[in-house]
Structures are given as structure tokens and as C-alpha cells.
Chains A and B, each alone.
Chain A
Amino acid sequence: MILSMQHVPVILIALPIIFGSLTILFRSKSTLQKTLNIAVFSFLLALSIALLLHVWYNGILVYEVGEWGKYGILLVADLLGAGMVVLSSLISLMAMIYATDYMDRKALDSTFFPLFNLMVAGLNGIFLTGDIFNLFVFFEVLVLSSCGLIVLTGRGDHTKMADKLEAIFKYLVLNMVSIILMLVSIASLYATVGTLNMADIAVKVGYLADAGELPWHIHVIAMTFIVVFGYKAAMFPLHFWLADVHPSAPAPIHAMLSGMVIKVGIYGILRVHYLIFSESMFMLQPILIILSLVTIAVGATSAIGQYDLKRLLAYSSVSQIGYVLLGVGMGTAYALTAAIVYLVNHAIAKSMLFLTTGETLYHAGTKDMRKMGGYAGSAPFLCIIFLIGSMSIAGLPPAGGFFAKLLIFDAGLSAQFYIPIAIALIFAIFTLFYLFRTWLTIFWGEVKYCDPTEACNIRNPTTSIKVALSLLAGVVIFIGVYPEPLIALSSVIAGQLLDPQPYITAVLERSVR
């Protein structure tokens, strides 16, 4: 068992890539393809949970691709990486189950499955790699596959093809610019310390700092990395693309983009900055706190004025990612714990909300909230799930978001960040307002039928959509009622982030062949 566990990190990346190319062969057999994909994704979820348990009990797992020690590419599964892989496997499995009934037949038969597999491979690769250039490669895999996925159509998708293409053009060009910036930063870092292994870079930067010879451009590189990851995470000056791009995607992809792909930026800051640039954090933490507060404010105020349901939730994502960044910026062990709990909660609750939204839009036949109303009678299931999601995002018990918000505010107060917490609290009330106004507008009030020829209540969720949504809702409620395991895991992760010595030792003790 121990021997086979060693290979799990590479299987988590290689299996989706291999299966993504194999699944093209079955494109004429729709049922077989759906069954196989759900089986493979369930297997990936089981593997990732096994990996997390293994890392929890036996310490950090390092897989050497090519057995070149720190000079080759290493896959490192520590608690943060393995935890993020579990999260992304869970959400991608649910999105996959949902998508088998939601996506158009044409999209399912052609490009959906291969690109979705590649996207998951990119996510797993980002969370497991220990090499900073490899991180860049997986970023590109993620960006290109998500470009191909945004263009597909589903049954509740009212976005025109012209708008989708415009959104993808924005997404791709802006991502290319940020990726080029990342490459420039990696080249500068390599020219300074002469290695690409993140643990090795951390050791060498630490040596330079101890000797008092830290070159000033290390701080500049740290800032450009903040720009790169802040772009991925939709941090304030770089948030403008999200509200155009995410609503253009079909619901399962929207859930993946808002649930996992923007979390990649947070993961990057947690991994790269807390490991390598811990010397620059004294300068970056105030910047992160100020920008996160502006992100919260801009996202929440933009969401209030929206009538387009998907756009409203996209702005809500911007606002919520600000809370995670606030926790990351405060930088104490407690605040990092809170940030990770918030990240997990937001990922699950937001992807559930987006999956529900896709089905609600299909039920309503429009995406304008003003034309919806009174669906509690015709779609009681969607009504309940949407309520659970809204409660979790707004931070009401018994949903998981309550503990996430509580921990963030408590961490801020115990670290004496009174003014930032006051601002965050005001916009938490905004969140409550716009989400419950949305819920009331859609599900209560006068019954409105969008299409006179076709009554809305015949367009109801199918079984697999109900299964995916109920499972996610169950997870949200479970985290809300019994959050201790998640909080314990997050506090251990936060401790490892602030003291990365076990990570460095586990990577550098590998012998070079």
C-alpha cells in the first residue's frame, strides 16, 4: 500500500490527460462516455482523499519525475496541495455529473469531455507541482482548456455565440499578458538564485537574507508574482475580466471557473509568497489588505446593481475572493486558517449556487431577474438549494459559510485589524442583502411565466442534476454543522505555511542520482 501510494501524485495528473485523449475515441457512444467519465472522476476523488489521508498520517509525499532529485521536476503533495486536490476533485465530479444532463448533445459528443479532463489535469498539476516553471506550464494547460470549454453551450445558456467569443478573446489575451509577466518573473528569479525548485529557491533566498545580501529586485519579483496571482484570483485592479468571462460559460464550467480556477491565484500566493518571498511579506501584507478591502467593496456594490443573475453571482465571487485575500493578507496563523476555511466553503457553496443558477435560468427561460418570480411553487427543489447556497455565502448558520466568516472576523480582531474588519463587516451585510433579494425575487412573489407558449414548470431538473446538487448541499450543511475536521486541517496547513521547514526538508533530502 505504501509503495503504491507513492505514485498517486503522478496518477492524479496523468490519468485525466491520458483519459482525456482516450475519450475522443468513444465520442459516438454517448452513454458509455458519460459512464466512463463519471467512473474516472469518482476514482480521482477516491485517490485524492486517500492521498490527503496518507499525507496527514505519514507526512509530505514527494514524487520524483525522472529521479533527478531537486534538479528535476518534483511533485510535492503536502497538506495544502493534497487538500486543494480533494476540493477540486469533489467539485469537478459534481460538475461532471451535472453536465451529463445539462450540456447540449453536440457539445458532449465533441469537445466537452476531453477538455474537461485536461482542465482537471491542469488544476491537479498546479496544486501538486514543486517546480515553479512547471507551475507555469500547468497554468497554460488550465487557460487553454478553459477557453475551449467556455464556448460550449448548455440547455439553460442564453448567451449568444458572439458574446462568448468576445469574452474568450478578453480572457485569453489578458491571461497571456499575465502569463508572460509570470515568465519574466520566473526568469529573473532563476537568474538570481539559479534554481527552479521552490523549496531550493526558498533555501537560497533565506541564505541571502541571513547574510544581509538580499538583492532589492527580489521584492520586485515578489510584487510581479502578486500581480500574476492577483490576476488569476480577480483581485481589485485586475477583477474587470471576471464579470464578462464567467457568466458567458455554461453552468458546470462557470462552477469550475468560479469554484476552483480563481482559487488557483490564492493557492499561488499561499504557496509561492509564504514559501519563497517570506522576506518581502512585511511590505506585501498591507498592500494585500488594502486591495482585498477594495475588492470586497467593488464586488459587493457592483453586484447590488445587477439584474442579470449570472453576472450578479460573478460579482459576488469577486467580493468573496476579497475575504479570502483579507485572511491571506493578515498573515497570522489564525488568519491563514480562516482564509483556508473560507476558501473551501466558498468553493463548494459558490459552485453549488452556479449549478443551481444554470438550472434556474433553464426553468425561467431568461437570464433577466426582473422577468422571474414565484418559482417556489414550480421548482421547490431549486428554491431550497438556492437558499442553502445563499445562506452559506452570506454567512448564516447552519451553512458552512457561517464559520468561515466568523473565523475571518475573529482572526482580524485578535490580530487588532479593527478598521479592515469593520469595512469587511459592512460589506458582509451587503452580501446578505443582494443574495436574499435575489432569492426573494426569483422564488417568491407573483408567479411570472417567461414564455407564453411554454409553461415554465415542465422544465424541471433531471435526476443526475438533482443528485449533484443534493450532494453538494449535503457537504455545505455538513461543514456548517461539524466544522471541526476542516478547521483542524486548516490550522495545521496554516502552521506549515508559516514554518515551511518540513516542506523544504522533505524536498531537499531526496538524493540526486
Chain B
Amino acid sequence: MNPTMLSITIALLFGIGTFMILRRDMIKVAIGITVLSHATHMLIVTSGAFLGGKVPIITSDHESGSGIIFMDDIAAGVFAPIVPEGTEMIYSDPLVQALTLTAIVISLATTAVLLILAYRVYQEHGTTDLNEIRRLKG
């Protein structure tokens, strides 16, 4: 995985999502929210992916000292998942993938609610143009 390309992709997705939620159409706003959420999910995954990182499964032939997964040693100034200089990093961080799964499930639920809501607003107001749906004032 090329980190530069990944960063550019995430940045582009954030840009597209922000552009979409500023549109006037309700469905485009919903799509924008979805794109933004997925950009965020990619960002979370990227924060735990390292160049050449392997699947974080420790097998029985794992030699201690050859591949540091996490070192959590404050006294030495080492925070997981940041590894000290010169240490070979062979496993990617598994926690971010669990976080991303949680975030994806939550974004699924909110997207579903958002789409149902957009449909109900369309039924009540007869339009999906957000500039015309502005009755609350004062």
C-alpha cells in the first residue's frame, strides 16, 4: 500500500463529501454524509497500517524479539503503535480494523435513518430541494 496515494485518496474523498453535503438536493446530502463517513473509515485504517505490514496473527513459530507488535513503554518514550527507530515492524495494527468495523455499522444505521427521513420529508413537502424546505424561522 502506497501511503502517499492513500493520503491523496482520503483527501479527495473528504473534498467530494464536503462538496456533496453543500448541495441543495437532499439525496446528494445523504450521499455526501456517506462519502465523508467512508473517508473517515479509511483514515482510521490508515492510522494503523504500516509499509509491508503482515496480518496480525501470531503463529507458534513466532520468535520473540523478531517482530514487535506493540511496545507500550512510556519510560522509553515508546507508544504503541509507534515503534522505536530501527525496529522492524512486521505486523499491522489490528485494533484500528475493529474500530472501523464498529464505525461502519454505525454509519450504516445512520445512513438508513437519513434515507428514510429524506423520503418522509419528500412525502410531506413534495420536494427534495433544501432551499424550499425552510419553514422553521424566527
Contacts and interface: CB of A to CB of B under 8 A. Distances in A.
A195 B93 CA distance: 11
Interface string B75-97: 00101111000000000000110
Contact of A184 (B40, B82, B95): B40
Contacts of A187: 40, 43-44, 47, 96
Interface string B1-45: 000000000000000000001000010010001001100100110
A194 B120 CA distance: 43
Interface stretch (A3-11, A32-40, A162-170, A264-272): A162-170
B63 to A, nearest CB: 23
B101 to A, nearest CB: 12
Given A172-B114, A177-B36, A162 B138 contact: no
A249 B23 CA distance: 27
A204 B138 contact: no
A144 B109 contact: yes
Contact of A173 (B109, B114, B120, B138): B114
Contacts of A144: 109-110, 113
B51 interface: no
B98 to A, nearest CB: 9
Contacts of B72: 194-195
A248 to B, nearest CB: 7
A432 interface: no
A19 interface: no
A147 interface: yes
B124 A161 contact: yes
A165 B99 contact: no
A172 B21 CA distance: 12
A224 B121 CA distance: 31
A183 interface: yes
B117 A306 contact: no
Contacts of A306: 138
A169 B96 contact: no
B75 to A, nearest CB: 9
Interface string A440-474: 00000000000000000000000000000000000
B103 interface: yes
B81 to A, nearest CB: 5
B19 to A, nearest CB: 13
Contact of B70 (A147, A163, A194, A243): A194
B14 to A, nearest CB: 9
Contact of B43 (A133, A169, A184, A194): A184
Interface in A143-195: 143-144, 147, 161-163, 165-169, 172-173, 176-177, 180, 183-184, 187-188, 190-195
A137 interface: yes
Per DSSP, chain B at the interface is helix
Contact of B77 (A137, A161, A195, A207): A207
A183 B26 CA distance: 23
A204 B133 CA distance: 48
Interface string A238-264: 000001100010000000000000000
Contact of A183 (B74, B103, B113): B103
A180 B82 CA distance: 24
A163 B136 contact: yes
Interface in B39-80: 40, 43-44, 47-48, 70, 72, 74, 77, 79-80
A194 B136 contact: no
Nearest to B137: A244
A414 B135 CA distance: 46
Contacts of B43: 184, 187
B9 to A, nearest CB: 15
With a 10 A CB-CB cut-off, give which of B21, B33, B82, B106 has the most chain A CB atoms: B106
Interface in A265-324: 306, 308, 311
A204 B117 contact: no
A412 B42 CA distance: 45
A137 B107 CA distance: 11
Nearest to A213: B77
Interface of A: 133, 137, 140, 143-144, 147, 161-163, 165-169, 172-173, 176-177, 180, 183-184, 187-188, 190-196, 203-204, 207, 211, 243-244, 248, 306, 308, 311
The 10 closest A-B pairs by CB, nearest first: A191-B47, A162-B124, A194-B80, A194-B79, A244-B136, A187-B44, A165-B121, A183-B40, A140-B106, A194-B81
Interface of B: 21, 26, 29, 33, 36-37, 40, 43-44, 47-48, 70, 72, 74, 77, 79-82, 95-96, 99, 102-103, 106, 109-110, 113-114, 117-118, 120-121, 124-125, 133-136, 138
20 contacts: A147-B113, A161-B124, A166-B125, A166-B133, A166-B135, A166-B136, A169-B26, A169-B121, A172-B113, A172-B114, A176-B114, A180-B36, A187-B44, A187-B47, A187-B96, A190-B96, A190-B99, A191-B47, A191-B48, A196-B99
